[in-house]
Structure 1
Amino acid sequence: MVRTEQLRRPTVAALRILGVAVFYCVGGWIGLQKEVLKVDGTALTPLWPSTGIALTALLLLGAGVWPGIALGTLVGFLPLGPVGGIEIAITVGNTLAPLTSLLLLRRVGFRVELDRLRDGVALVFLGGLAGMLVAATVPVATMWLRGVTLPDGFWTAWLVWWTGDAMGVLLVTPFLLLLCRLRWPPHFHRWAEVSALVITAVVITWLATMSAFTLFFLVFPVLIWAALRFHLAGSAPFALAVSLRAIWEAANPAGAFAHQTLVERMITLQAFNGSLALTSLLLTAIVTEQKNIHQKIEEACDELTEVVERLVPGQGARLRPRRQQAVEGSEGST
Structure 2
Amino acid sequence: MADVLVTRQFRSFTRAALTSLAVAVCYYAAGRLGLLGRLVVEGVVVTPIWPPTGVAVAALLLLGARVWPGVALGSFLVIASLTTPGPTTLVTVASNTVAPLCSFLLLRRVGFRLDMARLRDGLSLVFLGGFGAMLISATAGVGLHVATGSLGTSEFWAVWLAWWVGDTMGVLLVAPLLLALAGPAGRLQVRRWKEAAFLGLATLVLMPLAVLSPMSMLFLVFPLLIWAALRFQLAGSMLCALFASVLTTFEATSERGAFLHLSDVEIMVKLQAFNGSAALTALLLAAVITEQLATRRSVRRACQELAEVLEHLAAGDPPPGPPATEHSPGGHRDP
TM-score above 0.5, yes or no: yes
Identity of aligned residues (%): 49
TM-score, normalised relative to structure 1:
0.89
Structure 2 letter corresponding to 1:32: L
> Structure 1: how far apart are the matches of 2:162 and 2:88?
17
Instruction: Check the 8 A contact 1:227/1:287 in 2, yes or no.
Output: yes
In the alignment, what sits opposite 2:140? 138
> Structure 1: how far apart are the matches of 2:8 and 2:88?
41
Pairing 1:1-334 to 2, within 5 Å after superposition: 1-37=4-40, 43-149=45-151, 153-181=155-183, 182-187=186-191, 190-313=192-315
Instruction: Check the 8 A contact 1:39/1:150 in 2, yes or no.
Output: no
Instruction: Check the 8 A contact 1:151/1:157 in 2, yes or no.
Output: no
Range that drifts further, 134-143 or 70-79: 70-79
| Structure 1 residues 266-310: Cα deviation after superposition (integer angstroms, max 9, x where no partner) | 111111111111111111111111111111111111111111111
| Greater Rg over alpha carbons, structure | 2
Offset, 1:81 = 4.0
- Across the two proteins, how many residue pairs are aligned to each other? 312
Offset, 1:151 = 11
SS in 2 for 1:43: strand
SS in 1 for 2:188: coil
Q: CA RMSD for the aligned pairs?
A: 1.8
Offset, 1:17 = 1.1
Structure 1 letter corresponding to 2:39: V
Tell me: CA distance 1:161–1:220, structure 2 relative to 1, closer, same or farther (3 Å). Answer: same
Range that drifts further, 15-24 or 145-154: 145-154
> Structure 1: how far apart are the matches of 2:294 and 2:96?
36
Offset, 1:156 = 1.7
SS in 2 for 1:156: helix
Offset, 1:100 = 1.3
SS in 2 for 1:109: coil
> Structure 2: how far apart are the matches of 1:22 and 1:93?
19
In the alignment, what sits opposite 2:328? none
| Structure 1 residues 106-153: Cα deviation after superposition (integer angstroms, max 9, x where no partner) | 121111101100011111111111111111000111110121135992
Structure 2 letter corresponding to 1:10: F
> Structure 1: how far apart are the matches of 2:221 and 2:281?
11
SS in 1 for 2:249: helix
> Structure 2: how far apart are the matches of 1:150 and 1:212?
35
Instruction: Check the 8 A contact 1:86/1:139 in 2, yes or no.
Output: no
Structure 1 letter corresponding to 2:280: L
Tell me: CA distance 1:193–1:90, structure 2 relative to 1, closer, same or farther (3 Å). Answer: same
> Structure 1: how far apart are the matches of 2:19 and 2:42?
32
SS in 2 for 1:83: coil
> Structure 2: how far apart are the matches of 1:31 and 1:304?
53
Structure 1 letter corresponding to 2:207: T
Instruction: Check the 8 A contact 2:28/2:75 in 1, yes or no.
Output: yes
Tell me: CA distance 1:225–1:80, structure 2 relative to 1, closer, same or farther (3 Å). Answer: closer
Structure 2 letter corresponding to 1:233: A
> Structure 2: how far apart are the matches of 1:222 and 1:295?
26
> Structure 1: how far apart are the matches of 2:237 and 2:81?
36
SS in 1 for 2:45: strand
Instruction: Check the 8 A contact 1:51/1:165 in 2, yes or no.
Output: yes
In the alignment, what sits opposite 2:320? none
TM-score, normalised relative to structure 2:
0.89
> Structure 2: how far apart are the matches of 1:170 and 1:76?
21
SS in 2 for 1:68: helix
SS in 1 for 2:49: coil
Offset, 1:82 = 2.9
Instruction: Check the 8 A contact 2:41/2:264 in 1, yes or no.
Output: no
